[in-house]
Chains A and B, each alone.
Chain A
Amino acid sequence: MATLTERAPAPAPNAITVALKEAAIAAAVMALLAIPLIGFVLEDIPGGVTLVFRTAAVLTSCAIVFAGRFALAMFRGHRPAMLTGLFDTVGMRALGSRIGKLVGPALIGFALVMPMLPFSDRYIVDIGTSVLIYVMLGWGLNIVVGLAGLLDLGYVAFYAVGAYSFALLAGNFDLSFWQCLPLAGLFAAFFGVLLGFPVLRLRGDYLAIVTLGFGEIIRIILLNWQEFTGGPNGLSSIPRPNFLGAPLARSAPEGQTPFFEFAAPVMEPIYRMLGREWGFEPIHRIVYLYYIILVLALVTNLFTLRIRRLPVGRAWEALREDEIACRSLGINPTNTKLSAFALGAMFAGFAGSFFATRQGFISPESFTYIESAVILAIVVLGGMGSQLGVVIAASFLILIPEAGREFAQYRMLMFGAAMVLVMVWRPQGLVSGREPSVRLHGVPGG
C-alpha cells in the first residue's frame, strides 16, 4: 500500500519522455504507412506512367500523427477522471435527465420556427430538410436496431422501394404524392416482411451481411431492369407535392389554383401586418417540403415513443436483451422481429417517397451501401435506442461535411474517421439510451 502511494504521483518530465517515445513510434509506423501509398503516386506521362514521390506529403502526415499521438499521450491520464467525475455523480445525472427532458421539446420548437427565423434562406432550409430526412431514417432504423437489436445494413433498400414505388405509381397511374405516400410505406413494409421472413432467425453479424446483400440485390435490380426502372438513368419528372390540391407553383393547370392564390385569404393579412407583399415565391415550396418531412419525422418519433409502451415494443426490447429468455416466456421471436423489421421498413418507405418528390429525380446512385452505412452510423453513434441521440448524430454527420465544403474531397474521409473515433471514444454512443423503458416498482437501476 505504501509503495503504491509513493509511486502514484509520476514525475512530470518522465511523462513527457514517455509521450515523446510513443509519439515517435506512432510517427514511425505512419512513415511506413505513408511512404508507399501517400509518397509514391502514379502519374500519367505521354507514352506511359511514371512514379512521383511527394516528400512533403509524407512528412506532413508523419508530423500530424506525431503531434496527435503526443497530445493523446499527455492528456490520456486526465480524461477519465475528468469525465467520470463530472458525469457520474448523482446530482449531475439528475440534472442531465432534467435537461434531457427539456432538450426534446426545445429542439422541436426550434425546428418548427426555423424557416421563419431571419437567418433562414433557401440554402439553410434545404440543409434542414436533408438533416430531417436522415433524422427520420435514423428514427425508423432505430426501431430495428435500437429497440429490436437487429443489425440491418440494407436499410437503404426500403428507402429505395419507397422512392421507386412513389415514382412509378405517380408516373404510371398519375397519382399525387399524398395518395402515394401510404402506398409507398405499405410496399416498403411488404418488402420488409418478404426479406425479413427468411433471414430473421440469423444472429447479429450474419443478419448484417445478409441485409447488406439484399440491399445490393435491390440496387442491382434497379440498375439493370431498364424497361421498368429506367436503369442507371433513373426516373425523372416526379411530381411535386401539392397543398390540399393546390400546387406550389407560379401557375396551376386547369381547374386548380396555385398555392399563393389558395392561401391568400389567410396569408395576405398576416403579411400586410408584417409590412410585406404576399405573392408567389419559389421558397414556399422549399419551406413546404421542410414542414412535410418535419411532420413525417415527428410522426415516426411519436410512433416509436408510444409503441415502446405497448406489449410489442416491450417484447422488442426484451428480445434485444435476451432472446432465449424471451422464447421461454412465450414470445414468438420471429413475429416480433418481423414486426420491427416491417415497421422500420415502412418509415424508410415514407422517407423514400419524400426523397423522390423532393429531388424530382431518382436513380440507383442514391441508394448505395454507403447510405445504409451512414444511417446505421447515425443510430449507433447517437446511442442505440436513443431518439435524441439520432438527432444529434444526424446533425453532426450531415452538417460537418456541409461546414467543410471547401474540403469536399475529404468529406467521406472525415466521415469514416469520425465513425471510428466516436466509437473508440464512446462505444455506447453519444447519448447512451440502452435504458429499459419499464422498471419494476420504479426502482432506478443500479
Chain B
Amino acid sequence: MEYFVQQLINGLTLGAIYALIALGYTMVYGIIGMINFAHGEIYMIGAFLAVITFTGLGILGVTWVPGAILVVLIISMFFTAVYGWTVERIAYRPLRGSHKLAPLISAIGMSIFLQNYVQISQGAKIKALSPVVQGNVPLMTSDAGFNVSISYLQLIIMIMTTALMVGFTLLIQRTSLGRAQRACEQDLKMASLLGIDTDRTISLTFVMGAALAAVAGVMITMYYGVIDFFIGFLAGVKAFTAAVLGGIGSLPGAVLGGLLIGLIEALWSAYFSIEYKDVATFAILVIVLIFRPTGLLGRPEVEKV
C-alpha cells in the first residue's frame, strides 16, 4: 500500500510534466490541425536553457533558491518561446494551405535539425545539474519501515503545474487573445473573415506552447538532474500520447492524459518491467486510438463531404 502511494506521487509528478508538454501539442493541433513534431525538441531546448541558466546563476553566486528558480523559469520560457515562434515562422507558416503531409514532413525535418543543432552547439555529452531543491516531507511509514514521502521538488512541480493550468485556463477563457484562439480553433477562415489576425494568433499559440514546454524542461532538469539532446523525442511522443488520450484539441483533456500517462508509466515500472515501460505507453496510444479515437474528453469529429 505504502509503496503504491509512493508510486502514485512519483507518477503524478511525471504526469504533471507530460501535461505541460501535451498542452502545446493539443493547442497547435486544435488550431492548425498538425502534429508539431518539433515540440519535443522545444521542450529539450527549454531543459538546456535551464541547465545553462542554473550554472550561470551558480557562477554569479546566487544562492537564494526561490529567486534562482524564478529567474531560470523566466529566462528559459522567454528564449524557448522565441524558438517556438521562429520554428512556426520558418517551417510551418509558408506551408499553410498546402497538402496535409507537407507541414508534417517539415516538422520532422525541424525536429531532426533542432536535435542536431543542440548536439553540435552544446556537445553530445549528458549535462548534469546538482540538486537545486533538497529535502522532503514524510507522509507515512509502513510497519515494514517503508517511508512514503513527497519531496519539496515534487511539491513545487505539482503546485507550479496547477498554478500554470489555472492561469492558462483563465487566459483562454477570459482574455481577447484566448477568445481569438478559440475562434481560430473552430474555423480559421471564418475567424480571419471576422477580422482576427490569424497569423498572429497562431504565432502566439506556438509561443505559449513553447513557454509551457520550457517550464516542463526546467522541471525535468531539476527533477532528474541530467539531460541530453535526445530527451525531446521520447518525451514528445509520450506527451502526444497524453494529448490523444485526453482527446486532442481539448485542454483539460491534455492535462488528464498527461497525468494518466505519468501514472501508468510509474506503476508499470514499479510492478511490471522497467524495460518495457515505453512499450506500455505506445500500447495505450494504440488501444485508445482504436477504441476511442476522440480520446477521453474530445469532441467527436464530423467528417464533412
Contact = CB atoms under 8 A, between A and B. Distances in A.
Interface stretch (A3-11, A209-217, A240-248, A282-290): A209-217
B201 interface: no
A404 interface: no
A430 to B, nearest CB: 13
A419 B285 contact: no
Interface stretch (B205-213, B216-224, B286-294): B286-294
A119 to B, nearest CB: 32
Contact of B286 (A42, A50, A198): A198
Given A199-B286, A213-B286, A412 B116 contact: yes
Q: Which of A29, A36, A49, A377 has the most CB of B within 10 A?
A: A36
B7 interface: no
Given A199-B290, A224-B276, A384-B101, A36 B120 contact: no
Given A32-B79, A40-B52, A424 B95 contact: yes
A416 B110 contact: yes
A415 B112 contact: yes
Interface string B153-190: 00000000000000000000000000000000000000
Contact of A373 (B86, B112, B285): B112
Interface stretch (B8-16, B121-129, B131-139, B261-269): B121-129
Contacts, number: 170
Interface string A412-427: 1101111110011001
B279 A221 contact: yes
Contact of A33 (B83, B244, B290, B293): B83
B290 A377 contact: no
Contacts of A427: 95, 98-99, 102
Which DSSP category, helix, strand, loop or mixed, fits chain A's interface? Answer: helix
A213 B285 contact: yes
A376 B108 contact: yes
A63 interface: no
B49 A36 contact: yes
Contacts of A36: 49, 52, 75, 79
A20 interface: no
Given A224-B275, A420-B91, A423-B109, A209 B285 contact: yes
Interface residues of B, number: 65
Interface string A25-64: 0000100110011101110000001110000010000000
A380 B48 contact: no
Contacts of A104: none
B278 A412 contact: no
Contacts of A428: 98-99, 102
Interface stretch (A77-85, A184-192, A200-208, A338-346): A200-208
Q: Which of A41, A220, A419, A423 has the most CB of B within 10 A?
A: A423
A99 to B, nearest CB: 25
B146 interface: no
A346 B59 CA distance: 58
Interface string B74-99: 01000100110010001100110011
A369 interface: yes
B86 A416 contact: no
Q: Report the contact-size class of chain A (Cβ under 8 Å from the partner).
A: 35 or more
Contact of A41 (B121, B289, B303, B305): B121
B297 interface: no
Contact of B45 (A37, A223, A373): A37
Nearest to B129: A49
B178 to A, nearest CB: 25
B207 to A, nearest CB: 13
B56 interface: yes
Nearest to B49: A36
A131 to B, nearest CB: 20
A135 interface: no
A32 B83 CA distance: 9
- Would you list the 9 A-B pairs with minimal beta carbon distance, nearest first? A419-B109, A416-B113, A416-B112, A213-B282, A427-B98, A427-B102, A413-B116, A420-B109, A423-B106
30 contacts: A36-B52, A37-B52, A37-B118, A151-B104, A199-B289, A199-B290, A202-B293, A204-B101, A205-B29, A205-B100, A205-B104, A206-B244, A214-B282, A214-B286, A217-B279, A221-B279, A324-B305, A373-B112, A409-B120, A412-B115, A415-B109, A416-B112, A416-B113, A418-B109, A419-B105, A420-B109, A423-B95, A423-B105, A424-B95, A427-B95
Given A199-B289, A208-B35, A415-B112, 10 more contacts: A33-B83, A36-B75, A41-B122, A42-B52, A205-B35, A216-B237, A221-B279, A224-B276, A376-B108, A381-B105
